[in-house]
Chains A and B, each alone.
Chain A
Amino acid sequence: MREQLEEIRRRALAELGDGAVEAAIENVRVRVLGRTGELTEIMRAMRTVPNAERPALGRLVNEIKSELEGRIATLSDALKRAAMEHALGAAQIDVTLPGMHIPRGWLHPVTLSRERMLEIFAAMGFEVVETQDVEDDFHNFGALNFPADHPAREMQDTFFLPGGLLLRTHTSNGQIRVMEQRRPPLAIVCPGNCYRRDELSVRASPMFSQIEGFMVDRAGAITMGHLKGVISEFLRAFFGQGIGVRFRASFFPFTEPSAEVDISCLLCAGAGCRVCKQSGWTEILGSGMIHPNVLRAVGYDPAEYQGFAFGMGVERTSLLKLGVDDLRLFFENDLRFLGQFRSASEAAS
């Protein structure tokens, strides 16, 4: 019987070699370990074995049984692992292929510039107030000290509307609209669209946007020195701390004294180039101390109040900052242009 058992073991192990397939394994399991298998048969025949030999034979049977079970488990595991390996290999994809395109838009560069400007002014304590595009002569011109038929009006060619109205030529109407309603102290910025009778070209557009700003308080509390301080601070925040800023005397009907503000040319950093006409400077905004006649027009006593005002073109300022030289790019909506502001838009939000 011992020989018989050794023979079962030898044969089973031979069949459970390293390359055994699943069917062969199953065959061995059923034939040897099954309910009517060879080992079961031997256990049944154990009665005929003399008592003295029975324990040893029993141990041998169990030893063979667990050896074979172990062998079968090892082989099955290997087979499963191989099957998994195979399945993983088959499921492999090209990870370099593009993923699904989740739609995501972005903002227009002029919006980005405008919001950045307003953010700086807000940080300096300015309040944002938006006023109307359709204006009357008084709020666009008269109250801003542009007398009728004055040549200063020719600086801004106006679109007229029925009913004696017009499209505002600047956001300076915001000064009048706000001051008519409120009393100093005021620190206000007014963004918005403006309109002038210029054909759309590299340098001009019949519609463009501006930011008007003004600060008014008791006489002496807001000086021209403050105008210089606030504007310089803004320009350095917007264009970079290294930027040069200069103020030169100029003329605007609604400010006295008036100052044109230049920044050092962004292209040549002040050395002089074709863009800045060798001057090293680029005109960036107009400013000045609010004209006494403007204060009078809104019912302020110029002896009691004074303040400064400034206005700048958002598109023009954006062009300078972006180093682009064609205003039309802002209104064509060419995605090949706008697309370049994707990351700027994400960074701003």
Chain B
Amino acid sequence: MKLPLSWLGEFVTLEAPLDELCRRLTMAGLEVENVARIAPRFDGVYVAKVIHAERHPNADRLSLCEVDAGEAGRFKVVCGAPNARGGITAALARVGARLGAGAHGEGSGKLAEAVPLQAAVIRGVQSEGMLCSELELGLSKEHTGILELPGDAPAGMLLADYLQMSDTVLDIAITPNRGDCLSILGLAREIAALFGLPLKRPRLKPLEAVAGGDPVTIAVAIRAPELCPRYAALPMDRIKIAPSPIAIRRRLELCGMRAVNNVVDATNYVMLELGQPLHAFDLEQISRHELVVRRADHDREFTTLDNSRRALEAGDLIIADATQPLAIAGVMGGLNSEVGAATTAIVLESAYFEPMTIARTARRMGLRSEASYRFERGIDRAGQGRALARAAELIGRTAGGRPSGPLIDVAARPATPRTINLDLGALAALLGVVVPAAEVERRLIALGATVTPAGAEQLTVVPPPFRPDLNEPADLAEEVARIAGLAEIPATIPARPAIVNPPNPARAFARRTRDVMIGCGLVEAKTIGFVAPADNQRCPGCGTGAPLIVTNPLSAELSEMRQSLIPGLLAALRFNLNREANAVHAFELGKVFGTVDGRPAEFERIAAVSYGDYALGAIGQPSIKAGFGTIKGIVEAYLRAAGVPGNAEFAPAGALAPYLHPGRSAIVKLDGIIAGVLGELHPEQALRLELSDPCVLFELDSQKLLAYGSLPRHGIVAPPKFPAIRRDLALVVDREFPADKVLKAIAEIAPPLLESVDLFDVYEGESIAPGKKSVALACRYRGTDRTLTDEEVNRAHAALVEEARQRLGAELRQ
């Protein structure tokens, strides 16, 4: 809301400096976002009466005017404007005046750059200045004639002072609860309350009685009282449509509105001043002079003032006459009843529409008007009549109109009075500060409430009709607190019992996860949760069901929720490769989304991508590139840290991860349940991302790992007392046979004394038959109560070798 201080001055006389005003408003919840200082674009221009104008002796189209600029003197001026004539009040630029816009509109608009006006001899006649058009004064583009000022403008006054050209305009952010501050009066009331000043309420003349002619009676019917509790209408005639006086146009513009004509401007002016949106219909276009406030029902379409066809819904509130809709209530008027140049009679509407209905319709139509903006925040429930009177007065002054019939004011549903019982003890207990009763009373009264003491420490408060946001004691507490500023409340630390909060295993695990990842050389990344459908198709994630589609996405590229963290990490990889990076090792811990039983669902994932040199050797030593081995190593390190190494099993991923290399990818299972995938990116994907090196990655279900990792730990044992004896074993199996199965087979045999089996080599090539590989294992034997003899170890090992050979159908490597 823009607040010109010149306008504010009509309601409150403020002595405080500007800084203080801005600070107090901001601290009270009315944040001053900008302060614009407006300076006139001209100087040396006076209000002057044209005493008489006669034709220039040497030029038909010029006139010679004698003007009276009061104390500034009388001047003879040559003027070329067709409307220069005796009796009008005009703007005189004296010799030496500066016009920022330039004497012919060619100036930069900046006063400092303007050349002072010089005396000139025009066609043989001396001109002692010039009469200015709006264009020349920088007020508008109007240049068909000179500016005509109202007859009561005092001759000799500086035009800049008369038009209040030097002004300061505050731009104040109004929160949605403060519809009452969307007016000059509302802001003035607030400022008066903040500074403890009296509010000068606008004095209005009662509506003039209808004089002459047949009175017009408007029939108003409210068919939807639950949406429109009150509707007032006033017919006016003898309207002469013209531009508004410059002072009105100027205020509208300072407040960010465009001037249209004297009638429309008057309705907007009153809306800005009092907060009540008004609408003017062309009376001639209202069939049978009937106004019906109803739901659109069967009316399906309507053309608004801006010449747009709008689709109506049955529930939209409209104003109609006997035959057709005339306006979308509180949102925008219709083209069919627009006030235009030919209008001579109007009906002024001043109504209260329920905020919700206006908000719903305006939002659906994407049509935010100044009127709907105010209605949806809640206007003064009782301000309709006052606004109508004010508008009628203005229109009378600026358009010659006068009431042509009785004011029709239908109150279909009177406002229910609200009474709030304010307990001062509870108020102090909420705020943490005691505000004396008299002071509480003073603050609430200043804001327009009626306050009555009701026993000890109790007040009965009736909020004013323009504050629908005040409904209970907490609302009043805010008012009491903000008027003095929250600095009044001392900051204190609450007394809390010494309670240790319960452990949070999920957070502890997330922390452990991040620690492992950074310990493994991965940098934490954060990517946005929205992806393109193609991303989800390529990387459908694990166990996330169908993709979760956003109903109202920002764009097609961000229309689904990610099912996997991988697309985001791959994008981060490509982003960095495009910026001179040649290795990227990154992880992300975050949520992915999908659907379970048709319902949107979310899941926790930990994922990483690794590309390029992973561990750089020292100079002259080889580096280790990211590959299946490095990424599996990271996964294994993580599984150990998560406390689940024994439960995990790796198996070829196959079709479960189509975006991975079919021969170099695996699923991770925990006790048979899939917990994630790892492997090398499919060459097709690598090609798409223009990757020259292998890119490896993993994605795991961190929720599942957490569940396993929090199982109770096994007991702690002392280190063994007796030495282990190692016997190696090399079995030749088919090349495709997983080494894992060899280890498992031996674990299953589990001969006594065998403590552990470790894989230490896999060999293919010379001395091994084609299509075969040798798997070399180190078997350790140990006794718990003695040092084993070679003989008993040899016996046990021979039995193990024979059993393993038979079970696996393997050869011993010679």
Which A residues form the contact surface with B (CB < 8 A)? Answer: 97-108, 110-111, 115, 122, 125-130, 132-134, 147-152, 154-155, 159-163, 165, 167, 185, 187, 193, 195, 197, 199-200, 205-207, 215, 217, 219-226, 228-230, 232-233, 246-251, 256-260, 289, 291-292, 302, 306, 330-336, 338-339, 345, 349
Contacts and interface: CB of A to CB of B under 8 A. Distances in A.
A248 B27 contact: yes
A133 B176 contact: no
The 5 closest A-B CB pairs, nearest first, are A103-B521, A225-B432, A223-B432, A249-B482, A257-B478
B518 A223 contact: no
A89 to B, nearest CB: 19
Given A128-B507, A224-B431, A155 B176 contact: yes
Nearest to B373: A151
Contacts of B493: 226, 229-230, 233
B527 A228 contact: no
A101 B528 contact: no
A95 B645 CA distance: 40
A228 B598 CA distance: 45
B522 A105 contact: yes
Contacts of B363: 149, 154
B619 A335 contact: no
A263 to B, nearest CB: 14
Interface string B547-568: 0111111100010010000000
A37 B495 CA distance: 102
A105 B481 contact: no
A223 B430 contact: yes
Contact of A246 (B487, B507, B525, B549): B487
Contact of B616 (A101, A110, A165): A101
A167 B528 CA distance: 13
B523 to A, nearest CB: 5
Interface string B484-504: 011101111111110101101
Nearest to A161: B600
A226 B482 CA distance: 17
14 contacts: A100-B621, A103-B522, A107-B524, A108-B526, A150-B359, A161-B549, A165-B599, A221-B494, A229-B491, A249-B482, A251-B177, A292-B472, A336-B579, A349-B515
Nearest to B617: A100
A165 to B, nearest CB: 5
A163 B528 CA distance: 23
Contact of B526 (A110, A150, A197, A223): A110
A98 B430 CA distance: 64
Interface majority SS (helix, strand, loop, mixed), chain A: mixed
Nearest to A147: B356
B437 interface: no
Contacts of B477: 256-257, 289
B242 interface: no
Contacts of A187: 496
Nearest to A250: B29
A103 B586 contact: no
Interface residues of B, number: 97
Contact of A148 (B356, B429, B593): B356
Contacts of B801: none
A103 B520 contact: yes
Contacts of A99: 618
Interface string B503-518: 0101100010011011
Interface in B562-602: 572, 575-576, 579, 581, 584-587, 590-591, 593, 598-602
A247 B356 contact: no
B618 A152 contact: no
Given A128-B507, A232-B491, A333-B586, A159 B523 contact: no
B599 A251 contact: no
Contacts of A163: 598-600
A103 B474 contact: no
A201 to B, nearest CB: 11
Given A229-B494, A333-B575, A334-B579, A100 B501 contact: no
Contacts of B614: 103
Given A103-B614, A225-B491, A256-B478, A251 B526 contact: no
Contacts of B376: 151
Contacts of B501: 122, 125-128
B490 A225 contact: yes
Interface in B162-193: 175-178
A258 B478 contact: yes
Given A155-B176, A206-B554, A333-B576, A149 B359 contact: yes
A197 B552 contact: yes
B28 interface: yes
Nearest to B22: A279
A122 B504 CA distance: 12
B426 interface: yes
B360 interface: yes
